[in-house]
Amino acid sequence: MLEIIKQPWPWYVAGPLIGLTVPALLILGNKSFGISSSLRHICAACIPANIGFFKYDWKKELWNLFFVSGILLGGVIASQFLINPEEISVNPALEAELATYGITDYSNLVPAQLMNFDSLLTLKGFTVMVVGGFLVGFGTRYAGGCTSGHAIMGLSNLQLPSLIATICFMAGGFLMANVILPIILSL
């Protein structure tokens, strides 16, 4: 049984399980799915309530903090007990392209040559980790939610803003992977 859990789940199992969270949240508590709003709830719990953006009853969203805590705990448990010791499988054509940028280590989910504390002090690492992280956070706030909130919950509810946001997320991802990232990796 543990061996089955350690393997990547096929799309026809994982997809419906993710999709079933939408009706479950709506039926069980009239709640919407999204992760990025949790940061606002954490900040509202920690920062004095007289700051405008954090002036609301964050305790009504306590379930969301438990949900995110469960995701973090699940990630920690999976990283300790369910890690597949095999190297990550990468398409040979992509592997050859990434080798031209000096990325050859596929022992982790993220290439070690790109994401580590040593590369943080390089232009390439700083651009990918810090500037990229800022842009993701800014984009999430600007779009009024993250990919999980818009693409899973918003599209399920047939919301036009979520469709627009999801199209922009996908276009941005394609642009980043095919145009911007090769430029950054060649620095």
Please give the Cα distance from 183 to 186 (Å, whole number): 5
Give residue 84's pLDDT.
67
Give residue 171's pLDDT.
94
Please give the Cα distance from 152 to 146 (Å, whole number): 10
Residue 121 DSSP code: G
Please give the Cα distance from 160 to 166 (Å, whole number): 10
pLDDT band of 73, cuts 50, 70, 90: very high
Which residue in 65, 10, 57, 25 sits closest to 153, CA to CA?
25
Which helix or strand (DSSP H or E) is residue 21 part of?
Answer: helix 21-29
Global pTM value: 0.72
Most confident of 28-32, 69-73, 121-125, 141-145: 69-73
Kindly list the domain boundaries of the chain, sorted by start residue. 1-83, 114-187
Mean pLDDT rounded to a whole number for the chain:
83
Residue 181 pLDDT more than 80?
yes
Give the least confident one: 28-37, 90-99, 127-136, 158-167: 28-37
pLDDT band of 167, cuts 50, 70, 90: very high
Residue-wise burial string across 151-174, b where 16 or more C-beta atoms lie within 10 A, e elsewhere: bbbbebeeeeebeebbeebeeeee
